Chain A
Amino acid sequence: MSEEKLIHLAKEGDKDALRELVKQHEKTLYSFAFKICRNKDKAEDIMQETFLSMIKSLKNFDGNSKLSTWLYRITVNHCLMSARSKKKELFVEPNDDDELFAEKHAADWSTIPNQSLENKELREILDQSINKLAPDYRIVFTLRDVQQLSTEETAGITGLSVAAVKSRLHRARAFLRNEISEAFKK
């Protein structure tokens, strides 16, 4: 059954259709929430809150965007609300290009051994590095590079301009790359 038909039925209160919509999007939204908040329990809460919001507001969904885009937008809002409970000073806003692209960062990456994600140390470094990044940058990086959405879709979900998405993305990439490189030097 098409997604359009499922949405139509779900709006009329069909629980089977609603269940099917949840099943189609639950893994993606949980994975996305985890990649933003880096905590499994929190990611599960955010996913649940996203679907509760979906059920509450589905009647207002006009179908002008994909359902997944709409759900990403709700998840982003829940992630941002969750991040607001943390102190702002805990995050880095990588907006200094002179520092981000300083010659010192072009050091030889080949000294970093070929790493597999089965390596616990690498996973910890990835978590710690992205946890430092300001949520706005983290969301753009995750939508664009990890979930592989287009720049335009990312802009639509975050409410940023295409130029702002591009700017945050290139800085987030450089920041994370530098953090990982520094962590391996220790």
Chain B
Amino acid sequence: MKFEDVKCKDVMIHICENLKEDLDSEKCRAIKEHIEHCTSCADYCTSVESTISWYREYDPGFTDDMHQNLLKKLNLE
């Protein structure tokens, strides 16, 4: 498969299916080459990575009060 034959929609699906997985097939190589030449697909890839990264980093924090409340609830004080 040549990178010129790859459609942006195929790339978007591929990015969401195989993010960060370094797959080595003819299709994957064509898609990687497409991303190198297509700004919007490169941006799309970055945007999916940013989305995941934000959700991963968004942590509510855990307080000592919550720990104490839990032990009390479990009768483990």
The 8 nearest A-B residue pairs measured at CB: A109-B47, A170-B16, A109-B43, A34-B60, A170-B17, A27-B62, A173-B16, A106-B40
A177 near B: Cβ within 8 Å?
yes
Q: A44–B58 Cα gap in the complex (Å)?
A: 16
Q: A31–B63 Cα gap in the complex (Å)?
A: 12
Residues A44 and B66 in contact, CB atoms below 8 Å apart: yes
Q: How many B residues touch the partner, as a band?
A: 20 to 34
The DSSP consensus for interface residues of chain B is helix
Q: A24–B43 Cα gap in the complex (Å)?
A: 39
Residues A103 and B55 in contact, CB atoms below 8 Å apart: no
Q: A40–B62 Cα gap in the complex (Å)?
A: 10
Residues B56 and A52 in contact, CB atoms below 8 Å apart: no
Residues A174 and B70 in contact, CB atoms below 8 Å apart: no
Q: A148–B73 Cα gap in the complex (Å)?
A: 29
If A22-B74, A106-B41, A109-B44 touch, whether A177 touches B51 (CB-CB below 8 Å) is yes
Interface string of A29-41 (1 = CB under 8 A from B): 0110011000010
Interface string of B1-27 (1 = CB under 8 A from A): 000000011001100110100000000
